[in-house]
Amino acid sequence: MLEDAGGHVRDADDDQMRLECGVFGAWNVAESSAITALGLHALQHRGQEACGIASFDGQLFHTERHMGHVGEAFSGTDLVHRLPGRYAIGHTRYATSGASVIRNVQPMFADLEASGIAIAHNGNLTNFRALHTQLVAEGSIFQSTSDSEVILHLVARSRKGSMEARFIDALSRIEGGYALLALTNECLIGARDPLGIRPLVLGELDDAYVLASETCALEMIGARFVRDIEHGEVVVISGKRTLRSSRPFPAARARPCLFEYVYFSRPDSVVNGRSVYDVRKRMGACLAQETGVDADVVVPVPDSGVPAALGFAQASGIPYELGIIRSHYMGRTFIQPTQGVRELGVRMKHSPNRQVLEGKRVVLIDDSIVRGTTSRKIVRMVREAGAREIHFRSASPPIKWPDFYGIDMPDRDKLLAARKTLAEMQEILEVDSLGFLSVDGLYHAMDAGPRDPVHPQFTDHYFTGEYPTRLLDREIAEGRNDPVERQLSLLVTA
């Protein structure tokens, strides 16, 4: 077992990146908990370990939090009786084994003197440990190890008058990437971090408003997309249909997360005005232009490599085929008791289509390479199915740096591209050639032109090492933060 950049424990053979969560909120919607459950179902890809819903019926708050999938937790005709009301927020979460406990599941709820408040949070706070240490020293008692609970404490301790003002006061203390929803007895609040690292969208359902991490959740419930919540924006929905917007913090350049397009968002979502599916196809086309090779067939690693493989095939003229078939019925809790069985585990998820692969020169397309463990297993499987040559292509640049904004990613010494040269990686993966999309190629696929080295248009630190915010907790852990400066940073509040 290994510990990742977020302090979680993960299996050494686990080569999959995960996003921490997805959020959904509905205001003044009939059967809001059922609508929220449907929205969370569409966001299941953003978190598959746990889920929760908090509703308000006009007098009382009701909450349910469960381990497992949305369909398992919130099925049944009694859902609207268990969670009544026209107001609700929900959350679907991924947690590694070290943090997969019910006390960390959201939404988190607290009774304050003026109102109850439930919070759902997508992303990570990069000053969580610093704030947690200060709050505990001042008498706060925490019930979880989630950074979301810090926000609740900051709201509770704020001396501002209204709940909205207290929420904004709390936002002024936190750093990192986030999309936040808060439900009170008077309003639904949505907020996006000042750089827009994590996504949040506004939709309209009949005469009501909904908020969600992705547009695919709006499609699921039949809502109309209105617009993206802007970076640094706070929206407050109240009454029957009142929506107010504010930008309470100094203006900053937007830098949305590129991995929303590379991997995390659903292909049918539109994120920050860009179709995820179209971007991924263009990534494949750019990859073909940069790393073209003579081959017989282009094969995606399903499902995330499919759009890029289509783009690669169309740009190169090489036929596209499904040479790997993915099983969608693999159990989440399958036990792998021995190394021998563990080595066969990849075949539970991916099976070779021998008729497509045998005797062929194969271009194998995946969205990215993290540790390389799963990629090597897939290569061996394709080779055993008779492929004559295997040319592995990654539709993203080499991942060389960890993330601290909501992506569960290994530390740098566990990232293959951070430790090895291209030739060494090619040998480790046992492929005939290896190629990656360049950073400029990815920017071109985003229709953003070349990367601006002074003011990058996106959050791209996992490729470049240039983090968009300071990493206070990391600085403290590494002894790079002066105690006086740290204390001053914690006291910069209203």
Active site residues: 21
**HSE of 101 in the Cβ direction (CA atoms, 13 Å)?**
9
Does residue 76 contact residue 64 with C-beta atoms inside 8 Å?
A: no
Residue keyed to tokens 């002894």: 479
In single-letter form, the type of residue at position 226 comes to: V
Pick the closest to residue 248 from 268, 231, 228 (CA basis): 231
Measure the CA–CA gap between 287 and 282, rounded to whole angstroms.
8
Task: Please state, in angstroms and rounded to a whole number, the distance separating the CA atoms of residues 425 and 418.
Answer: 10
Cβ neighbourhood burial of 340 (10 Å; 0-12, 13-18, 19+): exposed
Q: What are phi and psi of 84, to 5 degrees?
A: -80, 165
Distances in Å between the Cα of 192 and the Cα atoms of 256, 260, 431 are 11, 15, 42
CA distances from residue 35 to 66, 168, 244 in whole angstroms, order as listed? 18, 27, 23
Q: Which of 33, 87, 80 is nearest to 60 (CA)?
A: 87
Starting at the earlier edge strand, list the strands of the sheet with 389-394: 297-300, 361-366, 389-394, 433-436
Q: Give yes or no for a contact between 244 and 189, defined as CB atoms under 8 angstroms apart.
A: no
